[in-house]
Amino acid sequence: MRIAFRTVRFALTLIAVLLIARGARADGVDTLIKQLGDSSSKVRLAAALNLAKSGDERGILPLAKTLLNDSSSDVRSTAAVALGKLVSGNPSTRYKSLATANLKSAEANDSSGEVKKEAASALAKIGAGGSGNSGNNGGGGKGGIYVNIGPMSSKTTSSKNDKWRAVMVKTAQKTLAKVAGSMQTSWPGGSPSKSALQSKGVAGFYVDGTLNVLDVKSSGNGSTISCKVSMLLADFPDKSVFGFLSGGASVTASSSATDQDLASEDCVTAVIENLIANKIVPTIKSKVP
């Protein structure tokens, strides 16, 4: 989870969602945030616990990401508890909307009952209330939901556009599997026809995206990477578009080419994860009785 190594600022829009992160400071909180990306689940668990104790709102964004992406249910559960403490302890924090959205996604979709329970408790603690779906995986419809992920595209001048398209597809697949595991992203024999979906009682949707901007600005020993992504949501297989979303983020990194490349990937990944988890999945669920 390289995103934990950097300060990220999101500007995600469906109906204007603006999240601006506080500038990085080299202290114990930054170290704990970095440790959320450690290969050891024990280190990540300790970092989440200590971020909760710190009371510092800088821990909210990385913990919200950890809640939806960490491979360990213990770490995700602790991240939920930590978010409850940090948001309730910083009631005017600008990050409350993102934390609330991720907690609701975890409560409704996480594969662990313990994570769902802690997410519901955290929502109650911050006054957002639970969704009441902690025991429901949110499949929607009699036969469930199928999501066809498009090839993605890039309009940037980067020579690595093929890489960015692959990153976008992989991130979309991974995020859907994490926050909406009951939604199918594959179909036996390839993409299903309309009649195949209807015969199984499955609702079909199409998701695609475009990387519109990837900009690197260097200043001294540091640099800022900015990216903008647009995504569309449509019926499948008709591809009749009914939703259009756009989002952007900026990531701070060192001036090294390697770090800038990693930060660029973090930027694109962060935007897609947030749009899918907090906008696309809820919209799909609202479309299916």
Per-residue model confidence as pLDDT tens digits over 15-42: 223 232 333 333 688 899 999 999 998 9
Residue ending a domain, choose from 65, 94, 125: 125
Residue 241 belongs to some domain of the structure = yes
Q: For residue 282, give every residue at least 6 positions away whose Cβ sits within 8 Å of its Cβ, in sequence order, or none.
A: none
Please say if the pLDDT value at position 44 is more than 60: yes
Q: Which of 110, 248, 122, 259 is nearest to 177 (CA)?
A: 110
Residue 137 belongs to some domain of the structure = no
Could you tell me if 120 and 197 lie in one domain? no
Cα 87-93-98 angle, rounded to 5 deg: 70
CATH, residue 257: 3.30.160.150
Q: What is the CA radius of gyration of the chain?
A: 19
Give, in order, the Cα–Cα distances in Å from 132 to each of 79, 143, 160, 263: 20, 22, 44, 37
Q: 195-245 pLDDT, tens per residue?
A: 999 998 999 999 999 999 999 998 888 888 899 999 999 999 999 999 998
**5 or 242, which is more confident:** 242
Could you tell me if 113 and 236 lie in one domain? no
How far apart CA 39 and CA 118 sit, in angstroms, is 23
Count how many domains the chain has. Answer: 2
Cα 194-200-204 angle, rounded to 5 deg: 45
**65 or 130, which is more confident:** 65
Residue 3 belongs to some domain of the structure = no
Give, in order, the Cα–Cα distances in Å from 70 to each of 45, 79, 155, 276: 10, 9, 31, 17
Please say if the pLDDT value at position 151 is more than 70: yes
Residue ending a domain, choose from 95, 125, 155: 125
Could you tell me if 114 and 150 lie in one domain? no
Note the helical H segments in 3-145. Answer: 28-35, 41-54, 60-69, 73-89, 96-109, 113-125
Please say if the pLDDT value at position 137 is more than 50: no
Count CA atoms closer than 13 A to 269's CA, side-chain side: 22
Could you tell me if 159 and 276 lie in one domain? yes
Could you tell me if 98 and 215 lie in one domain? no
CATH, residue 25: 1.25.10.10
**Given this model, what pLDDT does residue 251 score?**
81
Residue 1 belongs to some domain of the structure = no
Residue 53 belongs to some domain of the structure = yes
Residue 106 belongs to some domain of the structure = yes
> pTM score, two decimals?
0.56
Helix or strand holding residue 223 (H, E): strand 222-235
Could you tell me if 76 and 175 lie in one domain? no
**Given this model, what pLDDT does residue 27 score?**
60
Could you tell me if 68 and 109 lie in one domain? yes
Residue 32 belongs to some domain of the structure = yes
Could you tell me if 165 and 241 lie in one domain? yes
Could you tell me if 43 and 151 lie in one domain? no
Could you tell me if 32 and 99 lie in one domain? yes
Could you tell me if 26 and 93 lie in one domain? yes
Q: What single letter denotes the amino acid at residue 156? A: T
How far apart CA 50 and CA 54 sit, in angstroms, is 6
Q: How confident is the model at residue 108 (pLDDT cuts 50, 70, 90)?
A: confident
Q: How confident is the model at residue 157 (pLDDT cuts 50, 70, 90)?
A: confident
Q: At what angle do helices 161-179 and 96-109 cross, to 10 degrees?
A: 60
Domain that holds residue 199: 145-287
Residue 139 belongs to some domain of the structure = no
Could you tell me if 111 and 207 lie in one domain? no
